[in-house]
Amino acid sequence: MERFEEILREYWGYSTFRSIQRDVIESVFNGNDTLALMPTGGGKSITFQVPALAMEGTCLVVTPLIALMKDQVENLNKRGISAVALHSGMSSHEIDITLDNVAYGNVKFLYLSPERLATEVFRARLKKFTICMVAIDEAHCISQWGYDFRPSYLKIAELRNVLSSEVPFLAVTATATPEVVEDIQAKLGFRNGKVFRMSFVRENLVYLVRNVEDKSKYLLRVVNSIQGSGIVYVRSRQKTKDIALMLRKEGVSSDYYHAGLTMEIRAAKQSDWQTGKTRVIVATNAFGMGIDKPDVRFVVHVDLPDSPEAYFQEAGRAGRDLNVAFAVLLYNDTDEQKVIQRIDSTFPPIEELKQVYHALGSFLNIAIGAGKDEVYDFNLLDFCAAYHLNAVKAYNSLKILELNGYIELTDELNNPSRIMFLVNRQELYKYQVAHADMDRFIKVILRNFTGVFSQYVRIDEVYLSRLASISTDAVYNNLKLLSKQKVVSYIPKKKTPLVIFIEERLDERNLRIEPKEYLERKNRYLYRANAMVDYAKSKAKCRSQLLLEYFGQTDSYRCGKCDVCTARNELDMSKYEFDVILQDLKTLLQEQEQTSETLVDGVKHNSERVLRVIKFLLDTGKIKQNAQGLLAWHSNNE
């Protein structure tokens, strides 16, 4: 067991594990199917990377986040750990080479999206792999009760039909309600499964809800009163620009971020924020994936998120250094109305979904019955312009088609240029002798890029031009020539969103969106949205407790710092005294409605303190007063 600490020290430089990490590692290393519930920033990746390094064979890591997949592979490679990724955007030859390297090389981690699991080329090669464990990131995606359900995750359990029964599955997630916890284990076919829960309590994070009409004015007040860097979340791309501009005009170093920006611009904006050049980033929910900035002092939501899961994850990006940080939600009465309005655009009628699907097939020139597993460059705005579609409704239609397993839609991928030699060293030497004009250029590649005979290697044409002392155009032309002569395989860089047809294109009659399932999904969305509204409107319970109870953690204490707790703290009495008076009042009012005078007389405590508690309970909605002036316990606030 000491091997785990050795691995942690050798590759990550840490001397001890955090919280439940070691328990999870020991469980999966001992062959147990394991589920780990760890909040954002809890160190989930360590729980599968460490045991896999202590095992013989390759660890399969299933994750839907391609950008995060690439980051983790890059970070592992920097640590001297062999890791590769398999995802949409790769050529068929790249996929072949990657899978060959897993089968015959010494690859420790193979990252892949769940959609790749079902492809014939992967299934055919899987039998040749030596798999030591399967790690499933974002495991809540397997549950239809989860807030980010993906049908492709349901295929993960099919791996058990191919792999040895001794290969353990480790599922990790940062957000799962109790029913999702049960569903994950059932859908993955857990055998004698173990569940480990890291407390979701964030003691250093202060949750605040402010009911304000002028949100911009209050946001400026927050930014000016809390020192340090922050994130401001909004729902629309235009709003990111407008609020960032407003903050700049007020002297706050700020910038905006959304998925409509190019990959380079997004990377530059994120870098400026992470290095402190920009203090506040105003963003849509596209911002946050893979962010590891420990000193975020505040996260402000100007608009209501779709669910407590999304809110908990986004708010949790504050205060990872364990110093005090603030999660502020700005709310007013129009927000509840906006939630209702969003339903129509989030869940277009089924006939509209079919029209979008038909338009997509025509836009990409895919014949009926064709297109299965094919990858297509895709620009949403061009698509909407060509067919006069509302962009929001079209996007949501495509996401629903994805949820039903017909297509996969990716954000813009940053695929750098890659090369691989197609000839062996001896054949290359003969080519260099026969083509003296290319000899020096080839030598520059061989001296500066390793592994080019066995795998695709990323290159930068500008960097290569400096190394070879030739123009970038000359580099491009040389690589094109070598590619044409079958000396190298050269894949120029490309940045575009992609659509993958998981199934062949169907005619509209055979495209099935089951109305009952569709309605259930819509109702689940409404349930989560209403839970978020209830959180914003509640004045009766500690914010931290409300969130934790949503995720099934019922044994938490009042945080003492949120807006609800501080209002209660102003009563100037101990928690014990407050709770005793509260229980007496509740008992009396559940028996019958009463006037405040008879209620005070009926509670054997200091009358002034009893009145203070009654006023607090009225303000927070736990006690209601009817038209006759009688007080009653409000049962919805048990």
Which of 352, 339, 351, 361 has the alpha carbon at shortest distance from 395? 352
Question: Is the pLDDT reported for residue 301 higher than 90?
Answer: yes
**CA atoms of 273 and 254, how far apart (whole Å):** 9
- Which pLDDT value is given to residue 569? 67
Sequence-separated (6 or more) residues with CB below 8 Å from residue 615? none
Q: Are strands 205-211 and 325-331 parallel, antiparallel or unpaired?
A: parallel
- Tens of pLDDT, residues 602-634: 887 878 777 878 877 877 777 888 877 788 887
- Tens of pLDDT, residues 577-601: 778 888 888 888 888 888 878 888 8
**CA atoms of 459 and 450, how far apart (whole Å):** 11
Question: Is the pLDDT reported for residue 638 higher than 60?
Answer: no
- Which pLDDT value is given to residue 574? 72
CA distances from 188 to 158, 168, 184, 564, 566 (A): 9, 11, 6, 40, 43
Rounded (10°) CA dihedral 421, 422, 426, 430 = -90
Going by pLDDT thresholds of 50, 70 and 90, the confidence category of residue 635 is: low
- Tens of pLDDT, residues 54-94: 999 999 999 987 777 888 898 899 999 999 998 877 878 88
Q: pLDDT > 70: what percent of the chain?
A: 97
For residues 309 and 175, is the Cβ–Cβ distance under 8 A? yes
- Tens of pLDDT, residues 352-409: 999 999 999 999 999 999 988 888 888 888 999 999 999 889 999 998 998 888 888 8
- Which pLDDT value is given to residue 426? 92
- Which pLDDT value is given to residue 636? 55
Question: Is the pLDDT reported for residue 637 higher than 70?
Answer: no
**CA atoms of 276 and 300, how far apart (whole Å):** 18
Q: pLDDT > 90: what percent of the chain?
A: 46
Strands (E), 212-268: 229-233, 254-257
Going by pLDDT thresholds of 50, 70 and 90, the confidence category of residue 250 is: very high
In total, the chain counts a number of residues equal to 638
| CATH 3.10.290.10 at 205-331, yes or no | no
Rounded to an integer, the average pLDDT of 533-561 is 88
**CATH topology match: 2-197 vs 205-331:** yes
In terms of Cβ atoms closer than 10 Å to its own Cβ (0-12, 13-18, 19+), residue 378 is buried
Question: Is the pLDDT reported for residue 283 higher than 60?
Answer: yes
- Which structure tokens are listed for 425? 């060293």
- Which pLDDT value is given to residue 139? 92
Higher-confidence residue: 415 or 454?
454
For residues 170 and 133, is the Cβ–Cβ distance under 8 A? yes
> What CATH architecture applies to the domain 556-637?
Orthogonal Bundle (1.10)
Question: Is the pLDDT reported for residue 312 higher than 60?
Answer: yes
- Which pLDDT value is given to residue 1? 56
Specify the CATH superfamily of domain 2-197.
P-loop containing nucleotide triphosphate hydrolases (3.40.50.300)
Question: Is the pLDDT reported for residue 529 higher than 60?
Answer: yes
**CA atoms of 479 and 489, how far apart (whole Å):** 9
**CA atoms of 327 and 301, how far apart (whole Å):** 8
CA distances from 529 to 286, 337, 384 (A): 19, 11, 28
Strands (E), 575-638: 623-625, 631-633
3-state SS record for 258-282 = CCCCCHHHHHHHHHHHHCCCCCEEE
Please calculate the CA angle 333-334-336 and round it to the nearest 5 degrees: 80
Domain ranges of the chain: 2-197, 205-331, 340-368+377-411+506-525, 417-492, 556-637
Going by pLDDT thresholds of 50, 70 and 90, the confidence category of residue 31 is: very high
Q: Whole-number mean pLDDT of the chain? A: 88
- Tens of pLDDT, residues 164-217: 889 999 999 988 888 899 999 999 999 888 999 888 888 899 999 999 999 999
What pTM was computed for the model? 0.76
Please calculate the CA angle 464-467-471 and round it to the nearest 5 degrees: 65
- Tens of pLDDT, residues 34-58: 999 987 767 889 999 999 999 999 9
